[in-house]
Amino acid sequence: MSVRISPSILSADFVNLERDLGRISDADLVHVDVMDNHFVPNLTLGLPIVQRIQEVSALPLDVHLMIDDPDTWAPKYAETGAFSVTFSAEAAADPKKLARDIRSTGSRVAVAVKPGTAIEPWLDMLDDLDMILVMTVEPGFGGQSFIEAAMPKLAAARRAVDASGLDVWLEVDGGINEQTIVTAVRNGADTLVAGSAVYGKADGPTPNERIAALRRA
Ligand code: DX5
Ligand code: ZN
């Protein structure tokens, strides 16, 4: 089975983003982590930078919002031309309306669930979603260890998506490497985010070579 790889630029060099985007040309998507220092205890980048990444990236943008009030902000990220915008389940006030607002821009819409968040309510609104992101770390930082306890949730999502016949992607984010990608795919993931595994080390294989290694695994 072929999977989609979405390298997270959280582990890239923010001062050399355009250069580092060029180093992942073999990826399927580019994962952009937006953090507001409220929903998560870390701050990354906002709308103007996502807009510029959109303008220079050859790859479709997989925007992952870890911010409060996605009902207001997520549609604005979608309007940059992002391929996909993911809001955090725990932060959304009116998820159905939010999903419609994002889709009305032409962007795909996804919901992310933290390791401790139940997935069942979201499986009841698969029609409104293009992707579900199962977090395998607590959101906020790259380089953390994969939380295997999230796998039953992923497997439940896989069963629900297959039963629905809908084209809903299942993404996993956090701690993905050549070992954990096998576990995630076995449990139903088709789209894999990897930050430190792609950009983490300055020496050794290039980011494109690390992407190839993830696919082989
Ligand atoms: C964490 C972010 C992830 C992060 C993953 O909150 O959502 O996208 O970049 O980093 P790794 O792959 O290093 O766990
Ligand atoms: Zn992410």
In sequence order, which residues have a C-beta less than 8 Å from that of residue 193 and are 6 or more positions away? 6, 7, 8, 31, 62, 64, 133, 171, 172, 173, 174, 176
CB count within 10 Å of CB 36 equals 17
Q: What's the pLDDT at 184?
A: 98
- The structure tokens listed for 14 are 């923010």
Which residue among 5, 6, 8 is best mutated to probe the pocket of ligand 1, counting the most ligand atoms within 8 A of its Cβ?
8
69 annotated binding-site participant = no
Which CATH number describes the domain made up of 4-216? 3.20.20.70
Q: What's the pLDDT at 201?
A: 79
pLDDT in tens, 124-150: 999 999 999 999 999 999 999 999 999
Q: What's the pLDDT at 200?
A: 87
Can you list the positions of beta strands (E) in the chain?
A: 4-7, 30-35, 61-66, 84-88, 108-113, 131-135, 169-173, 191-194
Q: What's the pLDDT at 114?
A: 98
**Pair 151, 170: CB distance under 8 Å:** no
Residue with tokens 């953090």: 35
174 annotated binding-site participant = yes
Domain ranges of the chain: 4-216
Protein residues with CB under 6 Å of any ligand 1 atom: 8, 10-11, 31, 33, 64, 137, 139-144, 173-176, 193-197
Residues in the chain with pLDDT values less than 70? 1
β-strand 169-173 against 131-135: which pairing, if any? parallel
CB count within 10 Å of CB 172 equals 30
Q: How many CA atoms lie within 13 A of 79 on its CB side?
A: 8
Amino acid at 93: A
- The structure tokens listed for 157 are 């999502």
Which residue among 88, 114, 193 is best mutated to probe the pocket of ligand 1, counting the most ligand atoms within 8 A of its Cβ?
193
Q: What is the dihedral of CA 186, 173, 1, 129, to 10 degrees?
A: 100
C-alpha closest to that of 185 among 128, 137, 146: 146
Question: What global pTM score does this model have?
Answer: 0.98
Q: What's the pLDDT at 22?
A: 97
Q: What's the pLDDT at 203?
A: 86
Rounded to 5°, angle at Cα 194 from 162 and 180: 65
